[in-house]
Amino acid sequence: MEKYELYKEHHNNKTLGQFFPPLYEEYFSSWPPTPTVQDVEVANGNTAVATSEVRKAEEHVRDFELAA
């Protein structure tokens, strides 16, 4: 909630690309992404790659409009 006003400002200015990267850094410093065993297997045993892929998936944000 503390970031909502900043989010609205960036949303209105169409600058969300400037809003999300620092937010992700702050979020992931508190709650780092944790790959599952399956994620590590898909990454051929490479935990760093698996962690990167999990983070990338969690960072994926898509604008959408709700149907009325």
Mark whether 26 and 42 lie in a shared domain.
no
Entry pTM: 0.64
Give 22-65 pLDDT, tens digit per residue: 999 999 999 999 999 999 999 999 999 999 999 998 887 665 55
More confident residue, 7 or 60: 7
How many independent structural domains does the chain possess? 2
- Examine the domain organization and report whether 15 and 43 are in the same domain: no
Pair (40, 66) in one structural domain: yes
Do 38 and 66 reside in the same domain of the chain? yes
pLDDT-derived band at 13 (thresholds 50, 70, 90) equals very high
Is the same domain home to 46 and 19? Answer: no
- Contact between residue 57 and residue 39 where contact means Cβ atoms under 8 Å apart: no
Helix axes 16-30, 47-59, angle to 10 degrees: 130
67 and 53 fall within a common domain: yes
Parent domain of 23: 1-31
Residue 61 has a pLDDT of: 64
Kindly state the tokens that stand for 64: 């959408």
